[in-house]
């Protein structure tokens, strides 16, 4: 069961629409869905909302520490409320996935993502859930830092928003801990092919 939904990004208007903030965009949409507003919480170094879903406490968190220190915020909240790593979902931008796609996974390495690197360090494990929002790769490793801190082109932004809206439909499954069903739903992005009518029937 997911108790803590975390979206990664950088605070401040200059970063608001950059690719690195895809996690923030997802959490903003979830907050709208749950009809909650995130408020500054100095103890947890972030913007936080707390609500109840089917009698269970659920937290939403947008660290305000800048990406490289995301774990400072996640770790503080998780420790205080005794939330286990496997009860945490971190939503973040992913270079190795194309815009328009999102992938759910548990555990694994931080793969060079500075936000995940710090969360690993603060939690002492990589055994938490990640929802990876595809932002695509610039094609040149030297361009990655520049790429993530730039605004996506309008067509790419639309694709990223599509993947956010699609994956957001699974929030109840995630919260309830039905990860197999959530994975299937999130990873199925193409609409089913229409059935070809059988000319012999009717």
Per-residue DSSP letters for 60-112?
A: EEEE-S-GGGHHHHHHHHHHHTT--GGGEEEEEEETTS-TT-EEEEES---TT
110 as an active site residue: the answer is: no
Would you state the structure tokens that stand for residue 19, as one six-digit string?
């690719």
**Burial level of 180, CB count in 10 A (0-12/13-18/19+)?**
exposed
Order of strands across the sheet with 56-63?
39-41, 46-53, 56-63, 4-7, 88-94, 129-134, 102-106
Q: Give me the residue label for tokens 């699609």.
A: 166
What are the two backbone dihedrals, phi and then psi, of residue 119, each rounded to the nearest 5 degrees?
-65, -45
Angle between helices 22-34 and 154-168 (to 10 degrees): 50
Active-site annotation holder among 20, 92, 113, 120: 20
Residues designated as active site: 20
């Amino acid at each position: 069961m997911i108790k803590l939904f975390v979206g990664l990004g950088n605070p401040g208007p200059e970063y608001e629409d950059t690719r690195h903030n895809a996690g923030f965009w997802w959490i903003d949409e979830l907050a709208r869905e749950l009809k909650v507003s995130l408020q500054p919480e100095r103890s947890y170094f972030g913007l936080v909302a707390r609500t109840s879903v089917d009698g269970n406490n659920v937290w939403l968190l947008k660290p305000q520490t800048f990406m490289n220190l995301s774990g400072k915020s996640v770790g503080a909240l998780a420790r205080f409320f005794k939330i286990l790593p496997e009860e945490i979902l971190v939503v973040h931008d992913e270079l190795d996935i194309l815009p328009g796609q999102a992938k759910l996974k548990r555990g694994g390495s931080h793969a060079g993502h500075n936000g995940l690197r710090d969360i690993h360090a603060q939690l002492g494990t990589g055994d938490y859930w990640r929802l990876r929002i595809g932002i695509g790769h610039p094609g040149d490793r030297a361009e990655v830092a520049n790429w993530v801190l730039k605004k996506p082109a309008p067509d790419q932004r639309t694709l990223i928003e599509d993947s956010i809206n699609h994956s957001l439909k699974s929030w109840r499954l995630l919260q309830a801990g039905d990860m197999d069903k959530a994975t299937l739903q999130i990873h199925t992005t193409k609409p089913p092919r229409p059935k070809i009518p059988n000319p012999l029937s009717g």
